Amino acid sequence: MRMKLALVAASTLCASMSVMAAEPVQPIYAATIEDRDKVELGKMLFFDPRLSQSGFISCNSCHNLSMGGSDNLPTSIGHDWQLGPINSPTVLNSKFNIAQFWDGRAATLQEQAGGPIANPGEMAFTHQLALSTLETIPGYVKMFEKVYGDEVITIDEVTDAIAVFEETLVTPGAPFDRSLMGDENAISMQAKAGYELFKTVGCTACHNGQALGGSSFQKMGLVKPYETDSEVAGRSAVTGNEIDRFSFKVPTLRNIELTYPYFHDGAVWDLGEAVNIMGEIQLGRTFKPEETDQIVAFLTTLTGQQPTFDLPILPPSSAKTPKPQP
């Protein structure tokens, strides 16, 4: 009897799995952590403003893990109050991206992590100065030794630890994922209608997979130009091909209700307006207000469990640590 029940349960599970496989959107699962010490070290570095010239800006300044891994600003503010050229994408679920940055100029999270430290408009440091700062902090020397086996700290170790920490920043358990896995009551009728519309009008041509984005570069303004004051070129800056002008990595729609304002120029604060613009310029489709509301209702079911952990307590500087230069 018990055996039979188990078989029935297994076959319904299979049925819901095959339905799931046919969906253009797939659920996210919790991260498996292999090296706890390395993740902990990466978390400390992510939160440590001493990797910046001013001693004031950390990765978390612009990818605030209390705010969906973004800064909720149109474009980021970096060293010396400089306004950056582009909106800060979320670091949540960034491990699903085919490449990093809006134009994909970094192939991996590790390659990406070296960028901001040395970017004069962001953390405005150099890799050498960052390393010589870390080397004067006994708590770090000990941790690097524990994780990487020797006392010499290299930039590859710094960026490796940060990347490994970032790989844990996934957001499973979204109501939509529970619905995909067969929980009929996880999302509202309105959200279900929104998902159907999202598929039938063709949003899933670009926003698909586990992250609903991150898997391709696409023209912004496929059927109608996008109007913006931003001078950012997009993918053509990497490929040198004029045809890639104004192509961007399709952003993830996971946690989208948390990561406003929207688009690479951060010009749009309202999710409904972003949906309407996408309909018009990517698909040549004008939504009725109730259709927009349905899609927005669907998109807000993509907010998953945000990473929770103890705040890292950073090891204190020593007398030898270079003083910050704000």
List active site positions.
Answer: 122
Q: Nearest approach, Cβ of 122 to ligand HEC (angstroms)?
A: 4
Whichever of 117 and 153 has its CB closer to ligand HEC, that residue is 117
Whichever of 28 and 109 has its CB closer to ligand HEC, that residue is 109
Whichever of 7 and 223 has its CB closer to ligand HEC, that residue is 223
Instruction: State the residues that interact with ligand HEC by CB under 6 A.
Output: 57, 59, 61-63, 76, 78, 84, 86, 88-89, 91, 94, 97, 100-102, 109, 112-113, 116-117, 122-123, 162, 198, 201-203, 205-207, 218, 220, 222, 248, 250-251, 253, 256, 259, 262-264, 274-275, 278-279, 282-283, 295
Contact 284, 223 (CB under 8 A): yes
| Closest C-alpha among 280, 162, 307, 173 to residue 223 | 280
Q: Nearest approach, Cβ of 165 to ligand HEC (angstroms)?
A: 8
CB neighbours of residue 262 within 10 Å: 21
Whichever of 85 and 183 has its CB closer to ligand HEC, that residue is 85
Q: Nearest approach, Cβ of 176 to ligand HEC (angstroms)?
A: 14
